[in-house]
Chains A and B, each alone.
Chain A
């Protein structure tokens, strides 16, 4: 009798325990996803939303790769889906806005783009919206007293009004990071303009500098970037040995002395060897 009760108790505990495990498995804590979204507009180029998804797991910030994000245009209570993107292995994705005319602004000419994640087994649902107005930057080179200046004007693209007292960054495009020029903050005047001198000793391929004027992560307008090429740099002589015959070239571009001398020696040696072999034949015929 005692054994029966004991066995029953054991089985009950075992089954209950199994059941608890199931409950726990269903209640695995999902992590929250943080979505960062920024609007970027490149003048005479594309406009896009830069998105990055991260999460805090075990007290560490980790990127969230391979999740599907739904991009929508919000107008008041209405929402119109624009498309879907997936984050890459760095948790980053980019959604290109084909044309701003395809999306609708609200009454204050503000566009709102929502980025939504519907959640999965590991992460909770999350969303983030980014609002921006359409701004434009026009940039050109002007010369005053033999000094080259970048002259740029920031305007509201819808109203055509200049945007004043906003800081623009002027930089020269380089291979890894841009080279900042001028003051740290170049605030636009009442006409929305700035004038930044360009030093005359900046090197560029064929003397051409790619100058960029950037409105960075502005609360109202997002990031707006204008670029222009100007032949005002010091001509950079690209000292590539690619077409030359060097010690580090492929075999087709072996230095001539290394083609001539070792080959002469090699053919010389084998010439002698042939001579000796002929002598052997001669001995056998003598």
Chain B
């Protein structure tokens, strides 16, 4: 058993090695490229994108939906596992909270990137109509950002106080920083009581808010009368898809952090096994929803639905569609059903597949539907029937993804990725139980 000091040494934030520094530089470069491309887009207008009257939502919106989905990890892992009292969650929740914060912040920024005139952002609040799901989105995203930050912050308080002490002599500046953030945490009973009560309420509270966020995101589509979107199933479909994206991202990031910080003793095969089971459950549910979403329209064979589905099944988007379904869901399910498949490395590969599949899935939700409207426009150029993002769009989207990873990287650099106090308490409890036995 490790004592608190040993745990503190193991889990306190530490400087990056060479790989970490290179990784951070790479993310900064990609982010800067995205910012430069975005500035050019603001100057020249969205003419620099390949969006048109057909593909009026392009890669930005699919990227936005991906970020919103990924942010659901805060709800699905942190709250659900906390409320169901799954003790194995301890080394994973902080990472999930960090991913959630990064993803929802970038979702908010990405939606602004999609606006032709970002200087008119305030008009959304001044002239927005409550009848429009877009306004609901405008309300829920800042709300979820704040809640995600609170969900990250409350459990951090004891750890910040520990870090204040830990860095007192080594790095007084950093110690001061942690001290300010720890809000004079002393670990008194009164403080513990308030903190635990708040975390418990937050854990309950974030579930409906997370569900509202995902559902609104789904309603942005399903309230429009378009092929592939006109479904009453979309809310649940998006929630299950978000669970897949969130847990997939968690598995991937956990693996990288474990490797980079050498946390094998804290994040064990047991945790990967549990995450694997969780991921296979979410993937199976999402696969079920996908079957519903594609099989029933195919079965009823409405003309426009069939045209849309043919594009997906055998047409232009078939390689991408089958990659998403088979590579992003079926293969992960098969791998994860086996115990060996739930070992760290296979899990990491599966996580990557799931995340990649999740990203392209959002592209498939947005683009093919827009290219197949119920009322096709007459006399438009042939090129408008196709859409592939421009260099600007790729650079900006790449920039946003890099920024999300950069937020995660910075938070991982300065925050303890595994709750120190809670880990110490759990080990102490375990020690006491063993002594009694």
Which residues of chain A have a CB within 8 Å of any CB of chain B?
247-251, 254-255, 258-259, 262-263, 265-266, 269-270, 272-273, 276-277, 279-280, 282-286
Closest to A281 in B: B183
Provide the main secondary structure of the chain A interface: helix
Q: Mark B127-169, 1 if CB is under 8 A from A, else 0.
A: 1111100001001000100110010011001000000000000
Take A276-B202, A284-B184 as given contacts and tell me if A251 and B147 are in contact as well, using a CB distance cutoff of 8 Å.
no
* Contact residues in A for B153 (Cβ distance below 8 Å): 280
Which residue, of A254, A273, A276, has the highest number of chain B Cβ atoms within 10 A? A276
Write 25 A-B pairs (CB below 8 A) sorted by A numbering: A247-B131, A248-B131, A249-B131, A251-B129, A254-B129, A254-B130, A254-B131, A258-B131, A259-B130, A262-B136, A266-B143, A269-B209, A272-B201, A273-B143, A273-B150, A276-B150, A276-B198, A280-B153, A280-B154, A280-B183, A282-B194, A283-B184, A283-B191, A284-B184, A286-B186
A262–B195 CB distance below 8 A: no
Residue interface mask B177-197, A partner, CB < 8 A = 1: 000000111101011001101
How far, in whole Å, are A259 and B131 apart by their CA atoms in the complex?
Answer: 9
B33 touches A (CB below 8 Å): no
Bound complex: CA of A285 vs CA of B185, how far in Å? 9
Q: How far is the CA of A261 from the CA of B143 in the complex (A)?
A: 16
Query: Quick check: A279 and B194 within 8 Å, CB to CB?
Result: yes
Chain B min CB distance to A250 (Å): 7
A116 to chain B: closest CB distance in Å? 41
Task: Give the CA-CA distance A282 to B190 in the complex, in Å.
Answer: 9
Give CA–CA (A270, B127) in the complex, Å. 21
* Total chain B interface residues with beta-carbon distance under 8 A: 30
Q: What are the residues of chain A within 8 A of B186 when measuring CB–CB?
A: 286
CA distance A248 to B129 in the complex (A): 9
- Distance (Å) between the CB of B265 and the closest chain A CB? 31
Give the residue name and chain of the B residue nearest to A277 (CB).
B150
Instruction: Please pick, from A273, A279, A283, the residue contacting B185 in the complex, using a CB distance under 8 A.
Output: A283
Asked if B414 lies at the interface with its beta carbon under 8 angstroms from chain A, I say: no
Set of chain A residues within 8 Å of B331, measured between Cβ atoms:
none
On whether the beta carbons of B131 and A283 are closer than 8 Å, the reply is no
* Interface: B225 (CB within 8 A): no
Chain B interface (Cβ < 8 Å from any Cβ of A): 127-131, 136, 139, 143, 146-147, 150, 153-154, 157, 183-186, 188, 190-191, 194-195, 197-198, 201-202, 205, 209, 212
Residues from chain A with Cβ under 8 Å of B202 in the complex: 276
**A251–B130 contact, CB under 8 A?**
yes
The answer for the CA separation of A16 and B153 in the assembled complex, in Å, is 92
**Complex Cα spacing A143 to B294, Å:** 66
Are the CB atoms of B129 and A286 closer together than 8 Å?
A: no
- Once A269-B143, A283-B191 are accepted as A-B contacts, the answer to whether A251 and B154 lie under 8 Å apart by CB is no
Instruction: Given the known inter-chain contacts A255-B131, A258-B131, please indicate yes or no for A283 contacting B136, CB distance below 8 A.
Output: no
Check if B139 sits within 8 Å of A283, measured CB to CB: no
Residues of B within 8 A of A270 (CB): 143
State in angstroms the CA–CA spacing of A258 and B188 once bound together. 45
A262 and B198 within 8 A (CB): no
Docked complex Cα distance between A262 and B209 (Å): 12
Closest residue of chain A to B216 (Cβ to Cβ) is: A262
Shortest CB-to-CB span from A95 to chain B, Å, is: 38
In Å, the complex CA distance between A157 and B185 comes to 103
Which A residues are CB-close (under 8 A) to B188? 286
Q: Which residues of A contact B212 (CB under 8 A)?
A: 265
Q: Which residues of B contact A285 (CB under 8 A)?
A: 184
Tell me the minimal C-beta distance from B403 to chain A in angstroms: 25
Q: Which 3 A-B pairs have the closest CB atoms?
A: A284-B183, A286-B190, A251-B129
Task: Judge whether A283 and B130 touch: CB under 8 Å.
Answer: no
Q: Determine the distance from Cα of A244 to Cα of B205 in the docked complex, in whole angstroms.
A: 36
The reply to whether A262 and B130 contact each other, CB–CB distance below 8 Å, is yes
Are the C-beta atoms of B194 and A266 separated by less than 8 Å?
no
Complex Cα distance, B127 from A41, in Å, reads 49
Known contacts A272-B205, A283-B194, A286-B191; A251/B127 CB under 8 A:
yes
Contact in complex: B198, A279 (CB < 8 Å): yes
With A and B bound together, what is the CA distance between A272 and B150 in angstroms? 11
Closest to A280 in B: B183
Instruction: Tell me, in angstroms, the Cα distance from A270 to B139 when the chains sit together.
Output: 10
**A248, A249, A255, A286, most chain B CB atoms within 10 A:** A286
User: Once bound together, how far apart are the Cα atoms of A286 and B182, in whole Å?
Assistant: 12
Measured between C-beta atoms, what is the minimum distance from B141 to chain A in Å? 12
CB distance from A141 to the nearest CB of B (A): 45
When A251-B129, A272-B205, A276-B154 are in contact, do A266 and B139 touch as well, CB less than 8 Å?
A: yes
By a CB distance below 8 angstroms, the chain A residues around B195 are 279, 283
